[in-house]
A and B are shown apart, each in its own frame.
Chain A
Amino acid sequence: MRASSKGLNVHTRRVISYVVLVLVTILCLFWFYVLFVNATRSHADLTKGFRALPSTNALKNVNSLLHSSNLPILSGLFNSVLVAGCTALLSTYFSTMTAYAIHAYDFKLKNFMFTFILGIMMIPTQVTALGFIQLMRKMHLMNSFIPLIIPAIAAPAVFFYMKQYMESTLPLELLEAARIDGAGEFRTFNQIALPLMKPAIAVQAIFSFVGSWNNYFTPALVLTEDSKKTLPILIASLRSADYLKFDMGQVYMMITFSILPVIVVYLVLSKNIVSGLAVGAVKG
């Protein structure tokens, strides 16, 4: 410990922390700024080097990207939205159901199941990929979205979040009351438990959507037909082709297309997301 640190008063320390925070902010945003600037520039302009201010070529780049013959961007966009949307829906609905099973009922295997689900949380999808692909081939599900969507039903991390949230927001007395009113168990779940879980479902839906939207490893193994490919696979194909022959404005616009939707949604909902993270983190 340096003796001089004793001399730093609160004001100086505050100035230092603001300076560092601003530098960190620049470090985080610089890359995206360059990306957005470059997405507005023409190929000829880009070869001349770095430029700090946007140009006027954005619409031209969008246009040439949409009409590009070797990049099925529109179908890629559609496929990505479809897969990520279905994943978010299934993952949140069924994880809430799984959490509800453990939360609301008392049965013999309850504690075992809870421990078991937490235990399989850390198994990476990569280590089962070999058997997974073999099985999908046998089931004739290659180039189908089913192997990318259905497995989301069993999502231990989402389950864990839902379980934590239920403990604080879903009193068992409420379910008891619904039972006395004669509601069936399935209806109680759908009409009483599910609405109360909305905030948690929203947070996890975003994370599931983003996770699936960004996923590259499994989709690249399953989807080989051009018309089925999702955005990350198209991005990878940009890299594996001789990228110098591409229109660079088009390349930057393509990257923008893949990350801008997530950035926009994130900025709109950031308050919920960042505080939601902290809620999960306390127990982490």
Chain B
Amino acid sequence: MANKKNGAVLRYNRWGYIFLIPFIVVFIIFQFIPLISTIYNSFFEHYFKNGLTEVGPTFIGLANYAELFTSGDLPKYLANTLIMWIIGFVPQILVSLLLAAWFSDPSLRLKYQQFFKTVIYLPNLIMASAFAMLFFTLFSDGGPINSLLMQLGIFSEPYKFLSHAGSARSLVGFMNFLMWFGNTTILLLAGMLGIDTSLFEAAEVDGATSTQVFFKITLPLLRPILVYVMVTSLIGGLQMFDVPQILTNGQGNPARTTMTLIMYLNKHLYSKNYGLGGALSVILFVITGILSVIVFRMNKATEK
């Protein structure tokens, strides 16, 4: 590199900065300044009483943060979010592992792989709000699913899916599962195809069954990707919004058991609760930041 550094090259290299200008300018205006002002807002008492009378802004230090934690709403909504994430993530990782193992197994020689991959990835591209509206109509008390279940004789009367905490949360988790397991399968498949095939051949020579190969070779070697999938999914899970918002019309029914953190933030944004909304944003920012650092470290480690 050093022997190339003459005047002409340096003059060219100035263009590196020039080509970065659009990114940097847009980042500063639309992300950096908003981030700073969000953090700034979190230290002030600033809201609209009854939506009309402006209160503040008055500097109150960390009082907004204290209120979020002591009022009990934040822990409750964090728990809701995590519960619905787990309901979706556990089946997602199991099904994805199974499908990826089958797709990558050379002895199975599955046909129509492209078709199956296309189908399982499809739900990921569907507008989440439309998908949630669809599920709302399908699972409503007089909707097609209830009528189908009654026609099949499974239920004698409509089951109110959205009136019970368990079924409403499961519905959100199930939709998250549907939307993301295809994506996870393709990620895990890429990881499995990257494993040195001589390991599998050696195992075969030693007489290992496919189940043994999966648990003793594939799974341990896949651990970094599994952790990566889990952390990125958790980051995405914390941002869960569209599905529960539309499904419950922003209410988090029944009894706010499906209210997620971002739905809570959205409420503050609509009612212009700048102080509390700011504090909530900062908390979410810190949590995602910590999780991102984990992902970042792992990417660095795997690149070396």
Contact = CB atoms under 8 A, between A and B. Distances in A.
A100 B9 CA distance: 16
A1 B270 CA distance: 54
Given A132-B34, A281-B187, A235 B121 contact: no
B138 interface: yes
A278 interface: yes
Interface string A233-262: 001101110010000100110010011001
B249 A239 contact: yes
A236 B29 CA distance: 29
B167 interface: no
A196 interface: no
A271 B115 CA distance: 9
Contacts of A259: 126-127, 130-131
A63 B244 CA distance: 30
B12 A185 contact: yes
A42 B137 CA distance: 15
Contacts of A109: 17
Given A28-B122, A185-B15, A235-B246, A255 B22 contact: no
Interface string A15-36: 0011011001101110100110
A155 to B, nearest CB: 9
Given A151-B26, A151-B30, A126 B127 contact: no
Nearest to A258: B130
Nearest to A125: B31
A266 interface: yes
B13 interface: yes
Given A238-B133, A240-B249, A50 B147 contact: yes
A191 B278 CA distance: 45
Interface string A52-74: 00000000000000000000000
B165 interface: no
B148 interface: yes
Interface in A124-164: 124, 126-135, 147, 150-151, 153-154, 159
A203 B269 CA distance: 34
A82 to B, nearest CB: 16
A122 B288 contact: yes
A1 B186 contact: no
B203 to A, nearest CB: 14
A177 interface: no
Contact of B99 (A6, A14, A24): A24
A172 to B, nearest CB: 11
Contacts, number: 304
Contacts of A121: 292
A179 B12 contact: yes
Contacts of A186: 15
A151 B154 CA distance: 50
Contact of A101 (B20, B121, B246): B20
A122 B262 contact: no
Nearest to B31: A128
B33 A50 contact: no
Nearest to A206: B125
Chain A interface size range: 35 or more
Contacts of A235: 127, 129-130, 133, 246
A221 B269 contact: yes
Given A24-B95, A151-B31, A274 B225 contact: no
A208 interface: no
Given A107-B17, A274-B117, A274-B121, A126 B108 contact: no
Interface in B8-41: 9, 12-20, 22-24, 26-27, 29-31, 33-38, 40-41
A262 B125 contact: yes
B128 A18 contact: no
A123 interface: yes
Interface string B181-210: 011001101110010000000000000011
A24 B238 CA distance: 26
Contact of A217 (B22, B35, B242, B288): B242
Interface in B99-126: 99, 102, 107-110, 114, 116-123, 125-126
Q: Lowest 4 A-B CB distances belong to which pairs? A: A105-B16, A49-B147, A131-B34, A101-B19
Interface of B: 1, 9, 12-20, 22-24, 26-27, 29-31, 33-38, 40-41, 95, 98-99, 102, 107-110, 114, 116-123, 125-131, 133-138, 142, 144-145, 147-148, 150-151, 178, 182-183, 186-187, 189-191, 194, 209-212, 215, 225, 228, 235, 238-239, 241-242, 245-246, 249-250, 262, 265-266, 268-270, 274, 277-278, 281-282, 284-285, 288-289, 291-292, 295-296, 299, 303
Given A118-B299, A130-B277, 19 more contacts: A1-B209, A28-B123, A47-B142, A94-B22, A122-B289, A127-B35, A127-B281, A127-B285, A130-B38, A150-B30, A154-B24, A189-B19, A216-B242, A235-B133, A238-B133, A270-B118, A274-B118, A284-B187, A284-B225
